[in-house]
Structure 1
Amino acid sequence: MAHDFLSIYPAKLLEYGLAVAYLLMFIPFWRYVQGGRAQEAVVPVTAPRPVARPAAVRAARPTAGWFQLPAGLHLHPGHTWARLENDGLIAVGVDDFAHKLVGPARVDLPALGERVLQGEAAFAMGDEDRTVPLLSPVDGTVVAVNAGVRDGKDGLEDPYGAGWLFKVKATRLAANLRQLLTDGPARHFLEDAGERLALRMSPEIAHVLQDGGTPIHGIAHALAGDEWERLAREHFLT
């Protein structure tokens, strides 16, 4: 009986030895597996680089095409423009945005010989009751005014052509032009102005768009009613 009891020990020792050996073999294997997973977990993931929107995508903005701007103009952020004429004079006018925003029935132009300064009020336009001032895009002396616009005969249906407002003999043209926008930046400026206006008029969009989806002349009146002057001043920087 004592012999049988003692004979159990070799068998148990063998069993324990096998268990210990298994654990000793399993530990390196476990570390290997976990180490591989840790390496996988720390593999950096590179975020995709932002892709610049091509011109075609930018042109798909909601307000693209609402406000036109021909080439060769220098645009002031107050929505007036300057253009070098063949005779060396500078023609001044308002852009398509300003024209459609106010839909003017009256334009008050500077007098011949009057001196205008870039960034300062030089003329005004509005309805029969009130007008809002607009800023001159250049410095100079007024040498011609558009009598048709002044007398209300032709209006501003063609703000970049027959609807020019006055001409000046510029005194600091090179310095003035550096402060104005041309080409792509000028067009983007008009698009941005249109988008800001679209955000404001979204609840009333049916009142300010024609059947073809283009803005009516007199957006400020349609949006703000009697407060149209304040809305116009915000965009004209006056």
Structure 2
Amino acid sequence: MGYLIYTDIFATKGIEYLLVIGFLIALILFWRLLRGSEIGPEAAGAESGSYAPGWFLVPDGLYFHRGHTWAKPEAGGIVTIGMDDFAQKLVGKPSALALPRVGEVLEQAKSGWKVEVDGKTLEMLSPVQGEVVAVNEEVAKRPDIVNSDPYQKGWLLKLKDRRLNADLKNLLTGKLARAWMEDVEDALRQRIYGDLSAALPDGGVPVSGIARSLDPENWEQVAREFLLTDQ
């Protein structure tokens, strides 16, 4: 005598669906944990009002040059300047910083300082003009500070800018700076992932030293393109 065995296929499928949903939830939690560890507590709190929906921090109250340097106006026409979050992630951990001396005069959008990484030297553009009145000696001794805290402890120079208002008009701040950085991120994602970038919501968090990931043999040229010093 045969037996009729009844299998509830909906119950079986239900278990499969639950497993898939559980996997997706675990993946999302892991991704958030990864994103949090990548940004880090120091960088995430680099500035009140920091804007970081994607890969790079864009703090409020700062003015950005398209060569990925920033300026922060202080009292008495003093301006604090440094390299932005994109720049430090682009080049990675520097072995040395060649900073100008107090008394030297910098020009806006001209060479302001040099970053040495893996035996290569990269110039960075000064976001404003002015006379150097202070140099961050701590960063000169420990260049890796620009990686952990590019907007506060990682500042590089203070300048006396006698045409500050005119210089600031050539820089990006607020919504314009955020929109610009989003465009930079989109271009970078396209370069890293190609056609796949549109299918990846975040495209993965880039490691420190993005330029080397893009082109290990000619990474310094890649960096110069983004820093606008490839001419």
> Scaled by the length of structure 1, what TM-score is found?
0.67
Distance in 1 of aligned mates of 2:220 and 2:178:
25
Which position in structure 2 is the counterpart of 1:217? Answer: 208
Matched, 1:142 2:132: yes
1:69 to 41, 54, 58: 58
Higher Rg of the two aligned structures: 1
Q: Structure 2: any 5+ residue segments left out of the alignment?
A: 1-51, 197-202
Q: Structure 1: any 5+ residue segments left out of the alignment?
A: 1-62, 206-211
Letter matched to residue 219 of structure 1: I
1:107 to 97, 101, 105: 97
Which position in structure 2 is the counterpart of 1:180? Answer: 171
Letter matched to residue 216 of structure 2: G
CA RMSD, Structure 1 to Structure 2 (Å): 1.9
Note the 1:74-223 alignment, pairs <5 A: 74-86=63-75, 88-105=77-94, 106-152=96-142, 155-156=145-146, 157-202=148-193, 213-223=204-214
Identity across the alignment (%): 45
Distance in 2 of aligned mates of 1:226 and 1:114:
35
CA drift of 1:154 comes to 5.0
Distance in 1 of aligned mates of 2:70 and 2:206:
21
Distance in 2 of aligned mates of 1:154 and 1:128:
13
1:229 to 180, 201, 220: 220
**Helix, strand or coil: the match of 1:225?**
coil
Distance in 2 of aligned mates of 1:115 and 1:220:
30
Q: Deviations over 1:180-218 (max 9, x none)?
A: 000011011111111111111116x9xxxxxx9422110
CA drift of 1:128 comes to 3.5
**Helix, strand or coil: the match of 1:75?**
strand
Structure 2 vs 1, CA of residues 186 and 153 (structure 1 numbering), >3 Å: closer, same or farther?
closer
